[in-house]
Every structure is written in structure tokens, then in C-alpha cells.
């Protein structure tokens, strides 16, 4: 059930083909809830923490991970080139601009979900496990073949959802499917786009509500943050921004994945407009709240 740090000590046991990498699929059911954003940020944060990380974009035909990482101009080969034998797996891995610990295996933009099979993805993951501490698989939306493929090589899953009914419902569906797959040993919930002031006014389900409804363990709470959009514009994951709250939240997720016990950020603190107004006036009047 828990994601542990057990198999991270790769350097000590490099006895030939010992498989040490952890394959984590990032999935959601519903589209647009932040899978790719999560992938880019967790991957970057893990690499910054000194881990060797490779990200696989399995969203064939709708690739985006390259954009979020600012690597779109460096892609020569894709995962489809690998499975169709046009290049070696190594050749298709694109190194990150800043962090040599971080690589991307891009999706093919011109092909559909059938271009790669479950078996092929499993093989690719097995191969990558030998050289990387973490293999993060970016899953397409939906529960069809694309999902099945992405999950195939993974043994852990992060289910991304937002505190909205449709996203939670789809997450529940995904959890059901993950539970049915023997190779998935653990899954955790990542709650994205949380708006503390809406929660406060009882206009959004709270973190506790979602966790209770899905009864799944939580690995992260990411606030709604316009910085995510601007960082995407720049092709630079928000974890690189030391001042960003969302960046902090993602860095915490990475630390939890590594096995650290990191408390959840208290997003419920007054950050809304109302409280800002309150604080502003409180300052003028000269009394604290």
C-alpha cells in the first residue's frame, strides 16, 4: 500500500541486471486534470533530488510532456520508433536541458494508441529499470487501450484528480481498474487544483471529503495556481520556482515518493481575496484580525 524507498539504493547493488527502478504510472480517468503537469513536476523534483529519472509519454497522438519540459525541439525519435526498430531505446531518450539525471521518452504525435502494445511497454519499462531509479509513465485520459498500455509496465500508480464530481467519479473508476491489476502494488491519490477559499465557503469538496469518498491514501495536495500556466508557457516545471506554493507542493510529493515523511501543506490558511482584504485593513487599523 505504501510507496517506500526500499528499492532506491541502486548504486549499491549494481550486479549486472538487477532491476531497481520503480515504475510509477500517473493516471486519472478524466482528461485535463493535471497528469502531464504532475509528471513533469514530480520527475523534475526527483531528478533535482539526485535520482535518475526517465519519463515516458504514452499519450500517443496527443503528446505534451515535451512541451511542459521545454524539450519539444530536441525530439528525434519517439517510443514508436523504438518499438518499430528504427532506433535503440537509448537513442530515443532525450536529456533535460538542465538536469542530466532527467530523460524523456516522447510519444509519437502522428500515431494512435494502437502503435504500441502492452507487451512492448512492459519490455521498455523492464529495460529502463536497469538504468533509472524512477520511470514515470504519463498516461492518456480514458480507460481504453491507452490506459491499459500505460499501466502495463508499472507497479505503482498515482491517481490524479481534482475536487470536482466528475473527476472524482472517474478516479474511482480508475482505482477499481488498478485494483484489478495484480502488477499494481500500490496506488496513491494526488489532489490537484485545490482552491482553499472555495473549500472554506463550502463550495468545493475538501481534501478530506475526497479522501473519504475514494478511501485511498493521499500523496499530495496541489493548489490551483496560475503559475502552473505561466511555467508551462515557458517550458519550465514549476518545481524550479522556489517561491511557488504549487512548486513546493510538488517537491513535497517527490520527497514522499522517496520515502520521507513530509507533512501536507496547510492550504486552508487564509489566502483568499477576503482574507487579503481583511489583512490589508487590519494592518491599517492596527489590529490583528
Partner 1 sequence: MKDIFTDLYNKVLGFFKQTEKKNDESSKEVACNRLKFVLMQDRTNLTPELMDRMRKELIELLSKYVEMDKEALELGFEQEGSQMALMLSIPVLRAREEAEIEATLAEEDAKKAKEEADAEKDSEGEEDESNDSEAQSDNEADTEEVEAEIEITEEPQGQEEDSENNNSSGEENKSSSSSKKTKTAKK
Ligand X SMILES: Nc1ncnc2c1ncn2[C@@H]1O[C@H](COP(=O)(O)OP(=O)(O)OP(=O)(O)O)[C@@H](O)[C@H]1O
CB of 159 closer than 8 Å to CB of 189: yes
One of 9, 86, 90, 173 touching partner 1 (CB under 8 A): 173
Q: Which residue is nearest to Mg ion (CB)?
A: 36
Residue range at the interface with partner 1 (CB under 8 A); choices 14-22, 29-37, 136-144, 163-171: 163-171
Nearest-approach distance from CB 288 to ligand X, in angstroms: 30
Residue 247 C-alpha cell reads as 512548486
Residue range at the interface with partner 1 (CB under 8 A); choices 131-139, 198-206, 239-247, 261-269: 198-206
Q: In b/e form, how buried is each residue of 33-49, taking b as 16+ CB within 10 angstroms?
A: bbbbbbbbbbbbbbbbb
Other CB atoms within a 10 A radius of the CB of residue 234 amount to: 11
Query: By CB under 8 A, is residue 209 in contact with partner 1?
Result: yes
What does 168 interact with, of partner 1, ligand X, Mg ion, none (CB < 5 to 8 A by kind)? Answer: partner 1
What does 232 interact with, of partner 1, Mg ion, ligand X, none (CB < 5 to 8 A by kind)? Answer: ligand X
Which lies closer to ligand X via its Cβ, residue 224 or residue 236?
224
Q: How many residues bind ligand X (CB under 6 A)?
A: 20
Residue range at the interface with Mg ion (CB under 5 A); choices 31-39, 83-91, 142-150, 192-200: 31-39
Nearest-approach distance from CB 8 to ligand X, in angstroms: 26
Nearest-approach distance from CB 242 to ligand X, in angstroms: 17
Category of 6 on φ-ψ map: left (φ > 0), alpha (ψ -120 to 50) or beta = alpha
d(CA 96, CA 98): 6
Name the residues that contact partner 1, by CB under 8 A: 1, 164-165, 168-169, 172-173, 176, 179, 199, 201-206, 209, 212-213, 215, 273-274, 277-278, 281, 284-286
Name the residues that contact ligand X, by CB under 6 A: 28, 31-37, 59, 64, 141, 192-193, 222, 224-225, 228-229, 232, 246
Amino acid at each position: 500500500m505504501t510507496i517506500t524507498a526500499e528499492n532506491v539504493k541502486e548504486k549499491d547493488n549494481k550486479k549486472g541486471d538487477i532491476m531497481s527502478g520503480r515504475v510509477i504510472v500517473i493516471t486519472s480517468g478524466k482528461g485535463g486534470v493535471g497528469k502531464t503537469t504532475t509528471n513533469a513536476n514530480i520527475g523534475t523534483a526527483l531528478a533535482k533530488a539526485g535520482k535518475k529519472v526517465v519519463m515516458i509519454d504514452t499519450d500517443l497522438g496527443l503528446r505534451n510532456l515535451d512541451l511542459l519540459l521545454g524539450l519539444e525541439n530536441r525530439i528525434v525519435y519517439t517510443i514508436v520508433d523504438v518499438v518499430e526498430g528504427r532506433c535503440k531505446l537509448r537513442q530515443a531518450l532525450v536529456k533535460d536541458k538542465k538536469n542530466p539525471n532527467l530523460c524523456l521518452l516522447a510519444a509519437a504525435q502522428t500515431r494512435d494508441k494502437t502503435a504500441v502494445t502492452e507487451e512492448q511497454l512492459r519490455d521498455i519499462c523492464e529495460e529502463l529499470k536497469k538504468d533509472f531509479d524512477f520511470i514515470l509513465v504519463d498516461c492518456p485520459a480514458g480507460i481504453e487501450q491507452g490506459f491499459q498500455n500505460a499501466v502495463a509496465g508499472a507497479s505503482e500508480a498515482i491517481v490524479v484528480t481534482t475536487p470536482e464530481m466528475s473527476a472524482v467519479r472517474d478516479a474511482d473508476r480508475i482505482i477499481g481498474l488498478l485494483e484489478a491489476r495484480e502488477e499494481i502494488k500500490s496506488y496513491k491519490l494526488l489532489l490537484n487544483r485545490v482552491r482553499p477559499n472555495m473549500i472554506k465557503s463550502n463550495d468545493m469538496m475538501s481534501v478530506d471529503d475526497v479522501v473519504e469518498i475514494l478511501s485511498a491514501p493521499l500523496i499530495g495536495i496541489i493548489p490551483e495556481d496560475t503559475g502552473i500556466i505561466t511555467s508551462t508557457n515557458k517550458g519550465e516545471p514549476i518545481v524550479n520556482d522556489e517561491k511557488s506554493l504549487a512548486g513546493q507542493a510538488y517537491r513535497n510529493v517527490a520527497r514522499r515518493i522517496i520515502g520521507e515523511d513530509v507533512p501536507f501543506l496547510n492550504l486552508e490558511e487564509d489566502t483568499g481575496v477576503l482574507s487579503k482584504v481583511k489583512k490589508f485593513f487590519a494592518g491599517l487599523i492596527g489590529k490583528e484580525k
